[in-house]
Amino acid sequence: MARVAIGWGVRELAAAANVSPNTIARLERGEELKASTIETIRSALEAAGIEFIPENGGGAGVRLRKEKGRDYKNVI
């Protein structure tokens, strides 16, 4: 969901996180990954403007961080 919110495909996220596209596909299928790999992917998404919302009774989620003048599609 985060990847789609910023208009990235699997390859774009993989490049930004410096992991293989297969790693992104495995994550999206719900397969187990190393914690460090997940953190690397999360950091790439956060650098692109994604804000992770903790579960607070309504379920965890993501949203775009509000920043004036930021072009989320041209981050990488």
Name the pTM for this structure: 0.76
Which CATH architecture best describes the domain 2-74? Orthogonal Bundle (1.10)
| DSSP per-residue codes, the chain | -HHHHTT--HHHHHHHHTS-HHHHHHHHTT----HHHHHHHHHHHHHTTEEEE--SSS--EEEE---TT--GGG--
Per-residue pLDDT of the chain (76 residues; tens, 9 = 90+): 788 888 999 999 999 999 999 999 999 999 999 999 999 999 999 999 888 877 776 666 666 677 655 555 555 5
